[in-house]
Amino acid sequence: MTQDDHWDIVIKPKEKGLHLNLKEVWRYRDLLYLFVHRDFAATYKQTILGPLWFFIQPIFTTIIFTVVFGGIAGIPTDGLPQPLFYMAGILCWNFYSDCLNRSTGTFFANAGVFSKVYFPRLVAPIAGIATSIIKMLIQLLLFFAFYAYYIYDGSSIGINLYALLFPVLVIMLAGLGFGVGILISSVTIKYRDLSILFSFVVGLLMYITPVIYPLSAIPEKYMQYKWLIQLNPLSSVVETFRYGFLGTGEFSWLSLGYSMIFTIIIVLLGIITFNKVERRFVDIV
């Protein structure tokens, strides 16, 4: 062993505030891979259909939305085929919701590991985001299968240059889910009953996100409440996705810029809170 080789690791408390230490996270990339593999194996272990649930869930949700909101409620879909319209919204919402749920369960899902061995704690929520991205990309294939069918059927839908923003939209959805999730995870460590409140609020959030309706479908008498939907940072992301891939919807650089700034702030705030809580997590639990 040469003099330059160092086989010791010094573990010390993190500085307060924003401290990412991405270099250390990168050193533990093999552990990140193991966490991602664990998430997939644990989710579909001892199931009959296994990974087919990736496709079954959005298909059934699309059918229900088409029957209830498109058929019974008669909510317009900007002239788009109803299944394709709902599939686009479901794809975005499911990805955000999955990122949020995995980040929210960071501390309690990994409590046993956190209390026994050291590793950068951010590896756990990052692994959850990576798992959600893989799941979303698989479901994206289903969306394109629907897309190809309706193109072949002669529907007037068309992709445009704004579809190139797709990687940015993925990052924003992941960032929103990650930031809000680790904030909730950090707060509910000490006050666990707050998790019930947050679950209720997140459930309602879908109804002020244009998942089951376009912004253009808001009735004239309720237009004074449109600002509330536009204040939701998820709204511009979903509308931009539909506008880029389906050619209809409301797109605004101002709204998308607002969502990007909101995402950056919530991620930074989440990391700061996470770093503060993780040092005393084991003592509380």
Contacts by residues 109-113 (CB-CB < 8 Å, ≥ 24 positions apart): 111/281, 111/282, 111/285
pLDDT digits 0-9 by tens, 51-75: 777 788 889 999 999 999 988 888 8
pLDDT digits 0-9 by tens, 152-170: 887 778 888 999 999 999 9
Q: What is the mean pLDDT of the chain?
A: 82
Instruction: Please give the Cα distance from 157 to 150 (Å, whole number).
Output: 8
Residue 26: per-residue pLDDT = 78
pLDDT digits 0-9 by tens, 70-128: 888 888 888 889 999 999 999 999 999 989 988 887 767 666 676 677 777 778 888 88
pLDDT digits 0-9 by tens, 230-240: 899 999 999 99
Contacts by residues 75-78 (CB-CB < 8 Å, ≥ 24 positions apart): 75/212, 75/213, 75/217, 76/213, 76/214, 76/216, 76/217, 77/213, 77/214, 77/217, 78/214, 78/216, 78/217, 78/242, 78/248, 78/249
Count CB neighbours of 181 within 10 A. Answer: 27
Of 237 and 182, more confident? 237
Q: Model pTM? A: 0.85
